[in-house]
Amino acid sequence: MKNLDRLSGIILFLLGLGIFLKSLTYPIGSFRSPGGGLFPLLASILLMALAGSLILQAFWKKNKGEASPASFFSSKEAPKRIIVGFAALLGYRYLLPLIGFALSTGVFIFFLSKFLGKYGWTVSLFFSGITAFVAYYLFQVWLKIPMPIPLIGF
């Protein structure tokens, strides 16, 4: 956790620095008449200070030799499952305008049930087919949510 603290502290410090520099490009005004850049400027200074203390704290605890902690993932399979999960979300996002709501939903649900839910082919196909059908009629036909018009298919 201490290594993670150090890493997240550095990332957050850099984020603060980026916001600080970007804030300088907005009208700062004065304390009497604050401009749009003043509030983010002050908040970014505070963020850099706190991120700095998080980094120092992590170094200090490491030097004190505090016990190091459990690994980032809870199981061996976890990183693979997380990557597959986010890949499915991104895939769904990009398939949606390409092949339409019903078909992309079917593919998405099938992918999740088969590869993350660990169901067999038959169950996954059946579940994804039913879900896509119900979702299509519920959201697109009944609730009339204007889903993107597909480039391919229906």
> Beta-carbon neighbour count of residue 42 at 10 Å?
14
Q: Figure out which of the listed residues 10, 57, 107, 125 binds other proteins, where binding follows CB under 8 A.
A: 57
- Per CB under 8 A, 97 contacts other proteins: yes
Q: Tell whether residue 95 is a contact of other proteins (CB under 8 A).
A: no
User: Is residue 33 a contact point for other proteins (CB under 8 A)?
Assistant: yes
Place of tokens 């196909």: 125
CB-based contact 37:21 (threshold 8 Å)? no
Query: DSSP assignment, residue 147?
Result: P
> How far apart, in whole angstroms, are the C-alpha atoms of residue 50 and residue 90?
33
Side-chain half-sphere CA neighbours of 103 within 13 A: 14
Q: Contact between 32 and other proteins (CB under 8 A)? A: yes
The two tokens of residue 118 are: 């660990």
Of 17, 19, 107, 125, which one interacts with other proteins (CB under 8 A)? 19
- Report helix angle 101-115 to 78-99, nearest 10: 170
Residue 107 engages other proteins in binding (rule: CB under 8 A): no
Give the footprint of other proteins on this chain (CB under 8 A): 1, 4-5, 8, 12, 15-16, 19, 22, 26-27, 30-40, 43-44, 46-47, 50-51, 53-54, 57, 72-75, 78, 81-82, 85-86, 88-90, 92-93, 96-97, 105, 108-109, 112-113, 116-119, 127, 131, 135, 139, 145-148
